[in-house]
């Protein structure tokens, strides 16, 4: 059977960012020990239940490096053992740019990590202050230098679009920083005001770019990164050739993955399920909440249209055993003249302009 992906949600943070709606809480040594033991027990349980290999491991959060080298080593070691993860597999961890102050970035390669994703967001001081980020440009530069010097060559940077007071000039400086530091992967996320966040509570006080300005920033980012040799392979993700995130591609290609930790989601054997967003509940009972059946043709189309390659007709037939239904083709065809959808003899895909309308377009095509 094809190897699965593994995701571990590490929910600990120094403080909650005002725009973040991921499950997180303040770090505490005792609770982090209990969390680590719980993850290890969960890994053993699922290994015995599934008896599957994994070829990607992604540790996200939160701020995963807050666990410290020993706990991370323990988690990664048991996952490598239980799911037969070899040295050629992609093992990614998210880190914050200021992490080197309290955590030895150079230890990551010694515990099996070969890819890092740095939550940079911007290099503009005002924009970082608006996001209430703790780091400076020097912190980002030093984290990249330490990681690369330790042997981790596969480095991804996150940037954010639509920040208060962001301009094309400030965005250009952030993009140029990424390029000058020779990273191979960039994730560019449009800021969204999510329920339950501080930004949502104070949304009337925020001065954010309007929809047209955000669209312009997004298309500018796509053009600039393309000009610098990055390939846009998904709505928000750009990479040098061959440096795409193997783990995240599993999500968008509707492939199987197992999530461990509070709020972590899974897709295994046609079922989608998840753990509740409550660390104590996860430690005590690991109660699994069922979401829905997964892997339908509609879901497959929805996820694959997030990719620049879109829906490949041959891959669709190989998966479902029948030709790509003409009803979807007919609905997509009416948008082709607007330069938001590409249709070829082999595939249907969205253009960068189409990605900005992806929710509406995908919904119209499917339903």
pLDDT in tens, 297-324: 999 999 999 999 999 999 999 999 999 9
pLDDT of residue 21: 87
Give dist(CA 290, CA 89) in Å, integer. 29
Between 200-209, 242-251, 299-308, 331-340, the lowest mean confidence (pLDDT) is in 200-209
Least confident of 17-21, 25-29, 50-54, 230-234: 25-29
In the chain, ranges of CATH 1.10.10.920 domains: 297-367
- Give the pLDDT confidence of 171-222 residue by residue, as tens digits: 999 999 999 999 999 999 999 999 989 999 998 888 899 999 999 999 999 9
pTM: 0.95
For residue 111, the 8-state DSSP code is: G
Q: Residue 365: CA atoms inside 13 Å, Cβ hemisphere, count?
A: 34
Residue 102 has pLDDT above 90, yes or no: no
Residue 15 pLDDT > 90: no
Q: How many Cα atoms sit within 13 Å of 367 on the Cβ side?
A: 8
Q: Which CATH class is domain 297-367?
A: mainly alpha
Residue 131 is predicted with a pLDDT of 93
Give the whole-angstrom CA distance, residue 141 versus residue 136.
9
The CATH number for 4-251, chosen from 3.20.20.70, 3.30.200.20, 3.40.50.2300, 3.40.50.720, is 3.20.20.70
Q: What is the pLDDT of residues 170-182, one digit of tens each?
A: 999 999 999 999 9
> How many alpha carbons lie under 13 Å from residue 268 in its C-beta half-sphere?
23
The predicted structure's pLDDT at residue 101: 80
Q: Which residue has the higher pLDDT, 56 or 285?
A: 56
Residues in contact with 285: Cβ distance below 8 Å, sequence separation at least 6, in sequence order: none
pLDDT of residue 100: 82
Q: Residue 142 has what pLDDT?
A: 94
- Average pLDDT over the chain, rounded to an integer: 94
Report the C-alpha gap between 316 and 300 in whole angstroms.
9
pLDDT of res. 28: 85
Q: Is 180 exposed, middle or buried (0-12, 13-18, 19+ CB in 10 A)?
A: exposed
> Is pLDDT above 90 for 286?
no
Structure confidence at residue 295 (pLDDT): 94
Percent of the chain's residues with pLDDT above 70: 100
What confidence category does residue 50 fall into, taking pLDDT thresholds of 50, 70 and 90? very high
Residues of the chain with CATH 3.20.20.70: 4-251
Over residues 92-103, mean pLDDT: 88
Span 70-77, mean pLDDT?
95
Q: Residue 287's pLDDT band (boundaries 50, 70, 90)? A: confident
Confidence at residue 35, expressed as pLDDT on a 0 to 100 scale: 96
């Amino acid at each position: 059977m094809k190897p699965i992906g593994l995701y571990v949600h590490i929910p600990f943070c120094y403080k909650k960012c005002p725009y973040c709606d991921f499950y997180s809480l303040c770090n505490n040594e005792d609770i982090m020990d209990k969390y680590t033991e719980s993850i290890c027990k969960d890994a053993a349980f699922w290994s015995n239940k599934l008896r599957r290999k994994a070829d990607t491991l992604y540790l996200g959060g939160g701020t995963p490096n807050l666990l410290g080298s020993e706990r991370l080593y323990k988690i990664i070691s048991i996952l490598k053992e239980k799911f037969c993860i070899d040295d050629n597999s992609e093992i990614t961890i998210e880190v914050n740019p200021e992490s080197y102050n309290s955590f030895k970035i150079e230890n990551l390669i010694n515990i099996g990590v070969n890819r890092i994703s740095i939550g940079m967001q911007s290099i503009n001081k005002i924009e970082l202050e608006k996001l209430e980020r703790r780091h400076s440009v020097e912190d980002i530069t030093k984290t990249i230098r330490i990681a690369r010097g330790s042997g981790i060559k596969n480095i991804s940077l996150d940037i954010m679009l639509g920040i208060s007071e962001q301009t094309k000039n400030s965005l250009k400086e952030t993009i140029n920083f990424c390029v000058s530091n020779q990273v191979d992967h960039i994730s560019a996320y449009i800021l969204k005001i999510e329920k339950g966040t501080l930004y949502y509570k104070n949304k009337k006080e925020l001065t954010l770019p309007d929809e047209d300005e955000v669209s312009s920033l997004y298309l500018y980012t796509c053009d600039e990164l393309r000009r610098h040799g990055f390939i846009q392979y998904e709505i928000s993700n750009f990479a040098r050739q061959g440096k795409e995130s193997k783990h995240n591609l599993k999500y968008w290609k509707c492939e199987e993955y197992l999530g461990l930790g509070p709020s972590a989601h899974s897709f295994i054997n046609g079922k989608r399920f998840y753990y509740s967003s409550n660390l104590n509940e996860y430690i005590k009972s690991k109660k699994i909440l069922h979401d829905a059946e997964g892997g339908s043709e509609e879901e497959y189309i929805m996820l694959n249209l997030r990719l620049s390659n879109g829906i490949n007709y041959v891959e669709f037939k190989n998966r479902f055993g029948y030709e790509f239904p003409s009803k979807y083709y007919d609905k997509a065809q009416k948008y082709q003249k607007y330069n938001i959808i590409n249709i070829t003899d082999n595939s249907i895909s969205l253009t960068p302009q189409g990605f900005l309308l992806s929710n509406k377009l995908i919904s119209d095509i499917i339903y």
